[in-house]
Amino acid sequence: MLNSKDYKLFDLISIPFKIVPAQTIATIFYMLLDSLVPAYQTLVIAFFINTATDIFNNRADFSEIYMPIGLIMAYLIVTHLFPSIMQIIETAGRNKLNVILKKEIVLKRARLEYKHIENNETWELVHRVCEDPVGFFMNGFNNVLSGINLLIGTISLLIIVMSSTFITGIVIMLVSIPLFYIAMKTGKENYTIGLEAQKIKRKYTYLADILSNRDYAEERSLFGYSPAISERYDKLYEKSYKIEKKIQIKSFINLKSGSIVALLIGIVIVGLLLPSLNKGELSIGLFISLVTAIFSLVQRMSWQLSYTMQQHARVKEYLKDFSEFSKLSEKENADDVPADVDNFMFHSLEFKSVSFKYPGAERNVLDKCSFKLLNGKNYAFVGENGAGKTTIIKLLVGMYDEYEGDILINDKNLRDYSFAELKGLISVVYQNFSKYALTVKDNIRLGNILKHDEEKINRIISDMNLVGMIRELEFGVDTYIGKVKKNSKDISEGQWQRLAISRLLYSSSKINILDEPTAALDPLEESRLYEMFRDINLNRFTIYITHRLGAAKISDEILVVSEGHIAEQGSHEQLMQYKDGIYQNMFESQKSWYEAESKVHNV
Residues 119-138 pLDDT 10s = 888 888 888 888 888 888 88
- Residue 535 has a pLDDT of 74
List the 412-413 sheet strands across, edge first: 366-374, 348-356, 404-409, 412-413
Q: How far apart are CA 399 and CA 107, in angstroms?
A: 17
- Residue 192 has a pLDDT of 66
- Residue 493 has a pLDDT of 80
Please give the domain boundaries of the chain with CATH numbers for all domains.
Answer: 11-326 (1.20.1560.10), 348-434+511-589 (3.40.50.300)
Q: How far apart are CA 179 and CA 75, in angstroms?
A: 31
| Interstrand relation of 426-430 and 511-515 (parallel, antiparallel or unpaired) | parallel
Q: Residue 3: name the closest of 313, 334, 320, 328 by CA.
A: 328
Q: How far apart are CA 177 and CA 260, in angstroms?
A: 15
Q: Please tell me the total number of residues recorded for the chain in this structure.
A: 603
For the chain, the average pLDDT equals 81
Q: How far apart are CA 288 and CA 270, in angstroms?
A: 10
- Residue 409 has a pLDDT of 95
The packing angle between helices 493-506 and 454-463, to 10°, is 140
Query: For residue 510, what are the contacts with CB-CB under 8 A and spacing of at least 6?
Result: 341, 344, 346, 425, 426, 540, 541
Q: How far apart are CA 127 and CA 485, in angstroms?
A: 25
Q: How far apart are CA 456 and CA 224, in angstroms?
A: 45
Q: How many CB atoms lie within 10 A of CB 99?
A: 12
For residue 372, the surrounding DSSP H or E stretch is strand 366-374
Q: How far apart are CA 447 and CA 445, in angstroms?
A: 5
Q: What is the CA radius of gyration of the chain?
A: 35
Q: How far apart are CA 543 and CA 514, in angstroms?
A: 6
Tally: H helices and E strands in the chain: 23, 10
Q: Are 511 and 455 in contact (CB under 8 A)?
A: no
Instruction: Report residues of the chain scoring pLDDT below 50.
Output: 596-603
Q: How many CB atoms lie within 10 A of CB 103?
A: 12
Q: How far apart are CA 128 and CA 325, in angstroms?
A: 10
